[in-house]
Structures are given as C-alpha cells and as structure tokens.
Structure 1
Amino acid sequence: MVIKQLIKRTSGWLYLNSAVGRSQLQGAGVILMLHRVLASDHTANLPHRNELCVGPKAFEHLLIWLRRHFDCVPLMDILQPGTLRSDRPKVALTFDDGWRDNAVNAFALLQKHQVPASIFLSTDFIGSRQRFWWESLGETLWESHGEQARRHLIECLYKRGHPVPVLMDDLDENRRSVTLLHYLQSLKSLDARELSRLTDECPQESMPQALDWQQVRALESSGLVRFGPHGASHAILTSLDDQRLDEELSRSRDALLNGCNRPLPVYCYPNGDHDARVRRQVAAHDFPFALGTGTGIYRGNSDPLALPRFGVSQRTARNPELLSWRIFRGGQP
C-alpha cells in the first residue's frame, strides 16, 4: 500500500510538472468538492470523518499547493470563461451542505490565501437547528456525546431493524472508525423520515450544525464566496415523485433568492444523485448548470447539468499529489 501511494504521488507530481500534463490541462477547469473544515486535523483523520472533513492544517496545505499549480478562480469563471486566457489550468472550490464550520474555520484561510469558493446550501438547515443525520448519528455512535447517549441510540437502531455491528465496540480506534463509516453508508438508503426520527434520538448540540443567514450574507459581502442550492431538505432527488421534486427545487431556489444578493445559477445534487427526469426539472427551474459527483475535467463540452468534480478528503488535502494523480486519471480520453 505504501509503495502504491508513493507511485501515485510521484506520477501526480510528474503530470503537473511535465509538458504533456501542462498541455492536457491548458484551458481546462478542475472543480473540487469539499464539505467541512474542522477545528483539528486529528479529529479529521479518522476514517468515518476523513471523506467529508479536512483539518485546518491540511486545508491550508491544499490551498498553498493549489495556488502553486493552478489559477484559483470562482466557479463561474470555469463555467462561463471570459476573454482573458491563461496558460495555467483553473481550479474552483465548492463546499456542499452549508456547514457552520465553513464560516468558522474555512473562511479565514480562504481569505488569507485569497482563494474564492462556492458554498451550496441545504436551505432548510440554514438558520435552524435542524441537523444532518450523518453527523448526529455518527458522532453519537462514536460516543462524542457520552456513553449513555450512545447506548440509547444503539437500542433505538436495534428496535427499528438497524442493528449496529459488533465491531463498533472494537478496542482499535481505526477499525472501529472504519466500521462506523461502512455502517453510516448502509443507512443512506433509508427513507428521509426514518433518518429524521433516528436523528431526533440523538442529543441536541450546543451550536447549530449549519450556517445561519447572517453568516451567509457576511461571507457573500466579502466578495470571495457565492452561494447556490443543494436541495432544501437534502432529500435524494431521484427518490422523489414529481410533486415533491418540484417542491424541493422551488423551495431551495426561493430561499437563495430571498437570502442572497447574487445566488449562483448552479444547482448541486444532494449526494450527487440525478437522472434525466431530475435534470429536466432542474433546467425548468432556471438552472443552466448543475454539479454531480462524477469525476473528470471540465472542458466546456460535457453536459452542463452533470458537471464533474473531484472530492477532497483529509488524506488528499494532506497529500495533494494524490489529487493530481486523480486529475490525471480523470483527464484521460
């Protein structure tokens, strides 16, 4: 595994620093997908947090690396490029969900390094104490809220037919975290109402998980951050009937129109899930662009309602050459 990682990192470095790599990336756009920037790199390192979270040191390391190899631009500069051209490839940062730590931890580093970003809000959560099920269930099962709360949730999950694996009691922290990651992934297929009921069995936290509208407006007024919709309730759009899909799209669009001065004309699919019906409805709600989770480089000739992105984890933020390896793979014909 170590040798494999070394080969990928070396190949990624060579790709960005070779004439062939520079030629392939010229005029191209790379869109990155992040979610959270935690207060500590140690907490972001564990497997059940690694994919959605980065720590502040890793995030700053990533920003420095990006500025060295790319022109860091707003998302719309990639989707609607102007007349000014650069030999360097462009990169745009996007954040999904609208976590409060985007303002508390990420923004200061974005400002320090003058890297613009787009944040896509699950609008029902903004300015409310509504909670993301993954965070509430995951951290309760991790015992972040105490053993009593953990035992109560485990009992509720068992009664509802979702027993927690025995390995969740493994003494090894890493194995326990991997088990939790796989368990949370298995719950993604549950009905949103069931996940909400399970979330209600978790302790309330001292601070809301999501941004509030005052924070949204403050970030927007900086000129460095713009906002777009990421669903209203974060429901998987492909699972909704036509009426609920229309309501979800309309509610999230209207919330951005009321809460922001310049909302992006870009929709961001919750969990990346979309199909032809969803794409038609997104276009009908006046969104010419939409972000998925498929990987690839944007060259302006792919479906604007299924834009590719590269996910950034704590691991790749700490080792950006792994990201350049994925960009190399995503840029192949």
Structure 2
Amino acid sequence: MAIKQLIKSTSGWLYLNSPVGRQQLQGAGVILMLHRVLSNDRAADLPHRNELCVGPKAFEHLLVWLRKHFDCVPLMEILQPNALRSERPRVALTFDDGWRDNAVNAFALLQKHQVPASIFLSTDFIGSRQRFWWESLGETLWGSHGDKARMHLIECLHARKHPLPVLLDDIDVERRSLALLHYLQGLKSLAPQELEELTDECPKDSLPQALDWHQVRAMEASGLVRFGPHGASHAILTGLDDARLSEEIRRSRDALNNGCNRPLPVYCYPNGDNDDRVRQQVADHDYPFALGTGTGIYRGDGDPLNLPRFGVSQRTARHPQLLSWRIYRGARP
C-alpha cells in the first residue's frame, strides 16, 4: 500500500476507535453504494472495473469489517430510525442497477454474514436481454469477446467520430485499463439512443446481464433484501423533458409495484444526477426519499431527496480502513 493510503488507513482506524470518532458517529447513518460482485477478485482489480465491481473475497472482507465496527441495518432503519438507537454507528448497503451477479455472487455472502441490503433496479432491464452499455462496450473494447468483435466496435466508434486514445493499445495492462475507464466516462455524455446503437454492435452475452423477476422475488422472500427503483431505462433524469421524466419515474414505480411485495419508498437517481425539477417530480410520485451520489453522513437532516452515500470500489473493499477515512472526512462538523 502506498504511503499516502497507509496514512489514510491508519487515520481512519484511529478515528473509528477513538472516543471522538465514536461520539461523532453515535446514532449516525452511513449508506454505502455498490454495483457488482464478480466471480473472482482479479477481474475486479482492473481500473475500468474497479469502481463498479468488487470481487467475492474483497466483498466478504468488507462485510466482516463492517460487522466489527457498525450495526449493519436495513436502509429504512437509517431513514426512519426507531426511538431506541445503538451507541454504534449504523451502516446500510445499497446496490445500483440490478446486476445478475447480485443474486449469483453477492446474495450468498449477505446471507452468510446476515447483512441486509437494498437493490435499486433499472426496471426495463429486469427479466430481459437488454444490456448496460458500459459493460458491453467496455468488455468488447477490452477484448473479452475476441479481437474481431473489438475491431468491429472500434470501426463503429471511429465512424461516429469517437476515436479511441492511443493508450488503449498500450502493452501495460494497468495503463490500458485506466485509459479505457477514462474513455468510457467520456461516452456518458452521448445520447441514450446512440449508446444503445453502439451496444447493439457488441456481441450478445451468453446470460442476461441483469436480474430476472424470479431472482428478485427469491431474494425479497429471504427478508434480507428489499428493492427500489433506479429508473426504468437508466436514462439520466436531468436530461429528460417533463413528460419523459414523469413517464420514466412512473414506469419504474409501476414495475416495482408489480414485481415486489414491499418495494422501498426510496428512489435512486441513475448516475446520481438530480436537480430541483427532478426532485420535485420524484416527490410528486410519492417518494419521500431519494439517493444521490454525494458523500456524507446521514443524521436525519439535509435534503431527504438527495441522500448521501459512500461509493465502494474493489480497492475500498480490500482496504476498508480507506472507507473509515472517508467517513471521518464526511462526519466532521
């Protein structure tokens, strides 16, 4: 671990175990944001996967660490706390998008350690073969589907005037993966229709990328997992006109009401993007809470329609003391 990270890890550990830290965090709520749990840790280590993916060993390491330092509680226990509060800080896990590996890889570990979680579904993807553009484009460009598929997609991107950076052919794996991460981040500004067309140029996956409703209902029946909406099409809500925005929120709400027994009264903004107009629409559709991506501790104050979360990457899961450093930074008065 680099010296800077070592200092942060040590400081974070001292904070969690100091009287000052315990006092600042007493009764506070920490909401964590995850996306995927892959089948092996080496795949999650690469920079273009690191931010959204964790491996099973790293995820289990994180769960053990969380149970040691926090009360692991359902999200609604943080948002609507009981009168009785533990002296320990509380943490709630959330997963965005609704990836199939949430059921295949994450759920067994949540059950093993009895850690509850909330999963926010992009409902158009659930039970369908529809694909997340980031995954399809990223893995095709990485070469996971072979060189022929990679070259075809590169030609399509070049024709649309989205040429790849030179570093995407670098022989150094880390540099190449980091270049791919930055390139994919730059594609976020493209119109959803163009991203969908580019995704169609990628090879089909052998299995759906997203959960199906049978998996959703099975996890919900365990009592350990609850589900909420993360948009219908995963469109960035701030870029939609009023009519499309209302339809997007309504469609995801209706899908959850039909597919789940107890959908959460919490909306989760795709990409975290929201503004006054979006928050008002979410409130008008009877959601008292919504999750953003800004960092911070939840103490019952602030805007309930833009709740803070701490993102968890593979690096953070491997070294959760780094998370305690970020919590320290977010908990300061």
TM exceeding 0.5:
yes
Letter in 2 for 1:119: I
Query: What is the 5 A alignment of 1:223-302?
Result: 223-302=223-302
After superposition, what is the alpha-carbon deviation per residue over 1:94-130, rounded to whole angstroms, capped at 9, x for unaligned?
A: 0000000000000000000000000000000000000
Moved over 6 A (4+): none
Aligned residue runs from structure 1 range 208-223, under 5 A:
208-223=208-223
* Matched position secondary structure for 1:93: strand
In structure 2, the residue corresponding to 1:300 is in which secondary structure?
coil
CA distance in 2, matches of 1:8, 1:282: 37
Q: Deviations over 1:74-112 (max 9, x none)?
A: 000000001221100000000000000000000000000
Q: What's the CA shift for 1:230?
A: 0.1
What secondary structure, in the 3-state scheme, does the structure 2 residue paired with 1:226 have?
strand
Moved more, 104-113 or 79-88: 79-88
Give the distance between the partners of 1:213 and 1:97, measured in 2 at CA. 14
Distance between the aligned counterparts of 2:83 and 2:329, measured in 1? 29
Aligned equivalent of 2:109: 109
* Partner Cα separation in structure 1 for residue 164 and residue 112 of structure 2: 43
- Structure 2 stretches lacking a partner, 5+ long: none
Deviation at 1:316, TM superposition (A): 0.4
Q: CA deviation at 1:33?
A: 0.1
- Take 1:3 and 1:207, find their aligned partners in 2: how far apart are those partners? 42
Map 1:79-158 to 2 at 5 A.
Answer: 79-158=79-158
Structure 2: which amino acid aligns with 1:56?
A: P
Matches of 1:273 and 1:332 in 2, distance apart?
A: 25
- SS of the residue corresponding to residue 108 of structure 1 reads helix
Q: CA deviation at 1:332?
A: 1.4
Alpha carbon RMSD of aligned pairs, Å? 0.6
Where do 1:306-317 residues align within 5 Å?
306-317=306-317
What SS does the corresponding residue of 2:94 show, helix, strand or coil?
strand
The answer to whether the aligner puts 1:27 opposite 2:27 as a matched pair is yes
Name the counterpart of 1:329.
329
Q: Residue 68 of structure 1: CA displacement? A: 0.1
**1:6 and 2:6 are equivalent in the alignment:** yes
Can you list the C-alpha shifts for 1:129-149, whole angstroms capped at 9, x where unaligned? 000000000000000000000
Separation in 2, partners of 1:205, 1:133: 12
* TM-score normalised by structure 2 residue count: 1.00
1:327 Cα deviation from its structure 2 partner: 0.3
Q: How far apart are the structure 2 equivalents of 1:67 and 1:2?
A: 26
SS of 1:31's equivalent in the other structure is strand
Task: Report deviation, 1:35.
Answer: 0.1
Q: Does 1:73 align with 2:52?
A: no
Pairwise CA distance, 1:166:
1.3
- 1:142-186: per-residue Cα shift (whole Å, max 9, x none)? 000000000000000000110111111100000000000000000
TM-score where L is the length of structure 1: 1.00
Partner SS state of residue 287, structure 1: coil
C-alpha distance in 2 between matches for 1:208 and 1:122: 14
Counterpart secondary structure, 2:188: helix
- Classify the secondary structure of the residue corresponding to 1:30: strand
Distance in 1 (alpha carbons) for counterparts of 2:82 and 2:143: 50
SS of the aligned residue for 1:189 comes to coil
Structure 2 counterpart of 1:152, one-letter code: H
Aligned to 1:62: 62
2:50 paired with 1:50? yes
Distance in 2 between residues matched to 1:191 and 1:227, nearest whole Å: 28
**Shift in Å, 1:302:** 1.1
CA deviation profile, 1:228-274 (whole Å, cap 9, x unmatched)? 00000000000000000001000000000000000000000000000
**1:191 maps to what in 2?**
191
Identity of aligned residues (%): 82
State which drifts further: 77-86 or 321-330: 77-86
Q: Give the letter for the 2:172 counterpart.
A: D
Q: Secondary structure at the match of 2:308?
A: coil
Which residue type is aligned with residue 292 of structure 1? G
